[in-house]
Structure 1
């Protein structure tokens, strides 16, 4: 006759085993609680750090979109809205006399990651000016921006792209020109501007546009969408040159950052 599994001796052994497991359970739980996070920490340490730099050295095509002659509240604000929706940063070269009553627009540019530069105080040619007259156009605008933003790291774009030895000597900052100019001011034709910029864009280009025309704002956003579809990443001028390891020196002119 077979022995019953529920005999007193077997039952006593089972109860002893269950008591042992019950006593050890908290210890096992504490071990698991201590060791599990260490696995995740090791995994996190193996991830590359993100320093916020554009992904230039991995084959990313970079391009800088720049705007002159603003700010103009209506059009510049519409442009900022469209760029924000697309996660795009641009560079704005501003007119000093237009800063009055547009301080909040300029502060928004700065807060949203756009770069800001100087385009003189009232859009005059800088070539041939004395140091006093030059400062009345450039340094006066620089001081206005400094009061609004609290920092002083502004690039210079001379009106009409005109420079001479005096401009280079007195600039006090890098001078930024361009490599793609659709002359959007000429006929304010959105379709033509879009076609011209998209066809001429290259990795490392600096695009010149103006944020004072509604047609240019529409064109700029279409350009962003089309070049995004081609794999371009839009960056500020500083980011473009930093990604290409090209130093920007005061008094020197730069038109592109072609690889």
Structure 2
């Protein structure tokens, strides 16, 4: 786990240096091997309700340009016709998860209906990407007792309510004011304003020493072995 964290820190430092070069900022000369410090603050950027052809594609372009990995929780019914976008997510190092088939509230339906919503999306992801563990984000962050979930579940600790305001500057401000190391940030990649906000947040927080990783990496950095059926709200549990 410690070696994995050091590799991620080194990657973040490298990306920060490349970003500095891209902005034509002066490079700092160093003698010998650069020291890996503890100043890097890890955070996970997560996106719900996609994929959506126009907005998700633009988001992926922006994340690739910035060297950022995120976690996407996909709605099964939105996947047909967007398979190439999902393959691209996998190829570019993003974590891909399950957000049910039709964004159904798992606190309401019968257990059999809820489990079908989860399994149907899981089967489609498997057919496109291959066998894997596609973590679940329950819609509205809720899941009723009695519903069997065979993978780890992910909630969030920072919710700027981007779906409600659809205002880029408000969303950015809400995230920057609330974020802490090990936060899990909730956004939706189906809104242009949210994509704009996400990329602005990345640029802002990278300058403050934050490194963006997937939820799985965030938990691993804290030596957490994720368990099926457990709902994780931050990188520390």
TM-score interval, normalised by the smaller of the two chains: 0.7 to 0.9
CA contact (8 A) 1:172 1:251 kept: yes
Q: Give the helix-richer structure, 1 or 2.
A: 1
Alpha-carbon distance in structure 2 between the residues aligned to 1:198 and 1:64: 13
Q: 1:196 to 1:130 in 2, by over 3 A?
A: same
Gaps of 5+ in 1: 1-48
- Choose from 164, 178, 183 the match for 1:205: 183
Quote the offset at 1:131 in angstroms. 3.4
Q: Give the 3-state SS of the residue equivalent to 2:73 in structure 1.
A: strand
8 Å Cα contact 2:215-2:235 kept in structure 1? no
Instruction: Tell me if the contact between 1:116 and 1:154 (Cα under 8 Å) persists in the aligned partners.
Output: yes
TM-score if structure 2 supplies the norm length? 0.84
8 Å contact kept, 1:203–1:258: no
Q: Does the 8 Å CA contact 2:73/2:96 hold for their aligned counterparts?
A: yes
RMSD: 1.9
SS class of match (2:8): coil
Matching residue of 1:137: 117
Give SS of 2:68's match.
Answer: coil
Q: How does 1:97-246 map to 2 (within 5 A)?
A: 97-167=77-147, 170-246=148-224
Query: Is 1:54 matched up with 2:11?
Result: no
Separation (CA, whole Å) in 1 of partners of 2:222 and 2:59: 27
3-state SS of the aligned residue for 2:46? strand
- How far off is 1:229 after superposition? 0.4
Matched-pair contact (CA < 8 Å) for 2:60–2:89: yes
From the superposition, tell whether residues 107 and 68 of structure 1 become closer, same or farther in structure 2 (CA, over 3 Å): same
CA distance in 2, matches of 1:53, 1:154: 24
Partner SS for 1:194: helix
Count of matched residue pairs = 209
Secondary structure of the structure 1 residue equivalent to 2:72: strand
Distance 2:198 2:135 in 1: 21
Aligned match of 2:65: 85
Q: CA deviation at 1:55?
A: 2.8
Normalised by the size of structure 1, how large is the TM-score? 0.77
Secondary structure of 1:166 counterpart? coil
Whole-angstrom distance in 1 between the partners of 2:5 and 2:143: 35
